[in-house]
Amino acid sequence: MQRKIGVMGGTFDPIHHGHLVAASEVADLFGLDEVVFVPTGQPWQKGARSVTPAEDRYLMTVVATASNPRFGVSRVDIDRSGPTYTKDTLTDLHAEMPDASLFFITGADALGAILSWRDVEDLFSLAHFVGVTRPGYELEDDHLPEGAVTLVEVPAMAISSTDCRRRVAEGHPVWYLVPDGVVQYIAKRGLYREQGEQ
Ligand code: ATP
Ligand code: MG
């Protein structure tokens, strides 16, 4: 039978339980064999903020997913130079797993930006898109081509990486917002201590 692979793209700066719950729920609902987390390369939508080095984001993603046999991490985006485009991510993963069908998982906020993505029709031919609920964002598919996107309600996790970074910078805990190993990795590497634009 054709393998079904979830693809969860993100900056993961840091990865948190909102990402993990979304991936786990979609895997369950769609009967996915695996979910591949794909940390971005140089992120082009993040504006002025300087993003944590890709290797740190990659390692935090590995630490956070290591205990789940159905979760994996791909380096395709961080090993490709230049900004990350979802089309390239899906094209590379499709080349690695030509027999798999891909399910691209995205939160309500990122789904809203889908129409601004390049090559939207190509995207829909590379993967089925799954939009998940996220507290604070409206999940709507009014403008999306029919049948290309499935909207899914997942347990509400009002967590963002931005908030986690701000908490660390201000000396507040991120325990229980991110996996324990990620708390320890952040401390070990001294990430997010700088005050300033988070
Ligand atoms: P930042 O605040 O830096 O933008 P983030 O928390 O939004 O970080 P990203 O790495 O930007 O995390 O998100 C990766 C993907 O995960 C996106 O599709 C995003 O919509 C989704 N996502 C992030 N947090 C949640 C959440 N709490 N619930 C559901 N989906 C989420
Ligand atoms: Mg985000």
Ligand 1 atom at shortest distance from the alpha carbon of 163: 2
d(CA 195, CA 3): 45
- Sorted by where each begins, the domain ranges of the chain are 4-157
CB atoms within 10 A of CB 13: 26
CATH number of 4-157: 3.40.50.620
Write down the mean pLDDT value for the chain. Answer: 92
- Ligand closest in space to the Cα of 197: 1
Residue 132 is predicted with a pLDDT of: 96
pLDDT value, residue 44: 55
**What is the predicted pLDDT for the residue at 82?**
87
pLDDT attached to residue 48: 64
Partners of 34 in the β-ladder: 5
Q: Which ligand is nearest to the CA of 108?
A: 1
Q: What residues are in contact with ligand 1 under a 6 Å CB criterion? A: 10-13, 18-19, 22, 106-107, 109-110, 132, 134, 157, 159-162
ipTM above 0.90, yes or no: yes
| pLDDT number for residue 38 | 98
Instruction: Tell me the pLDDT tens digit for each residue of 71-94.
Output: 999 999 999 998 898 999 999 999
pLDDT of residue 139: 81
As a whole number of angstroms, the distance between CA 33 and CA 22 comes to 15
Determine which residue's CA is closest to atom 7 belonging to ligand 1: 160
Segments of the chain scoring below 70 in pLDDT: 43-48, 114-118, 141-143, 195-198
H-only helix segments in the chain: 17-30, 54-65, 76-79, 86-96, 108-112, 120-126, 161-169, 180-189
